[in-house]
Structure 1
């Protein structure tokens, strides 16, 4: 199966890895380790700039005027429930903002943390 064939397949879990999940339907959206910074501004409050994300489908590209200038972005939606999770940076017009290209801005309010903690089954001695 080629990588193009897997684009619409939902990734269920990353065993033993903390993730960010869709707050509406609990679908895995990103590994917590993929966060570059949690200090970005989204439409509805704080946003996380992420190296990568999964289980998202992108809307149409558009030029959007953001705090740091005009960027070509596409809204990103959860593949399971169609909730708008943030956006994907296709292109930044300002050279100082080029580091955002190919990255995702995920809205904090649309995410829940799943820490994949395991309880120790051993009884205390």
Structure 2
């Protein structure tokens, strides 16, 4: 599909659960307090080995945002989205940042995040409560 970049910080890497392509390191996590329709999601300052899809407007818990889905360059699976713009001033900090849906990636220790049957379906954005 595309060129894969390897991240050299051992033990702190988030990677694709399907093909193990490296996406990000834990040092680039801005917040672990995000939720999507499948459970937890993490906001990252930067990610690698993804391609960015088309921009679209999405109404999220915290308001209207322009976002683009992001896809693994190794296997093509959707792994999250990029915040292109936020329409509310308080949400501007998200612009240019990336969400990785936790159930779609392997954690730094190689662990998988399993969907809980109790996981609330709260939409595709931060839980501001």
Sort the TM-score into its range (normalised by shorter chain). 0.7 to 0.9
**Residue 15 of structure 2: which of 21, 43, 50 is its match?**
21
Q: Deviations over 1:19-48 (max 9, x none)?
A: 100111111010111111111012311100
Q: How far does residue 111 in structure 1 lie from its aligned partner after superposition?
A: 1.0
For the aligned residue pairs, the C-alpha RMSD in angstroms reads 1.5
Q: Is the 8 A contact 2:57 2:67 kept in 1?
A: yes
Q: How far does residue 9 in structure 1 lie from its aligned partner after superposition?
A: 2.5
Q: How far, CA to CA, are the matches of 2:86 and 2:14 in structure 1?
A: 26
Q: Is the 8 A contact 1:29 1:54 kept in 2?
A: yes
Residues 15 and 41 of structure 1, relative CA distance in 2, 3 Å threshold = closer
Structure 1 unaligned spans of 5+: 1-7, 117-125
Structure 2 unaligned spans of 5+: 111-129
The answer for the alignment partner of 1:100 in structure 2 is 94
SS of aligned partner of 1:61: strand
Q: How far does residue 115 in structure 1 lie from its aligned partner after superposition?
A: 4.3
Where has structure 1 moved over 2 Å in runs of 4 or more? Answer: none
Residues 36 and 15 of structure 1, relative CA distance in 2, 3 Å threshold = closer
Q: How far, CA to CA, are the matches of 1:114 and 1:40 in structure 2?
A: 18
Select the structure of larger CA radius of gyration. 1
Q: How far, CA to CA, are the matches of 2:22 and 2:51 in structure 1?
A: 13
TM-score w.r.t. structure 2 length?
Answer: 0.79
Aligned residues: 109
TM-score w.r.t. structure 1 length?
Answer: 0.81
Q: How far, CA to CA, are the matches of 2:92 and 2:26 in structure 1?
A: 23
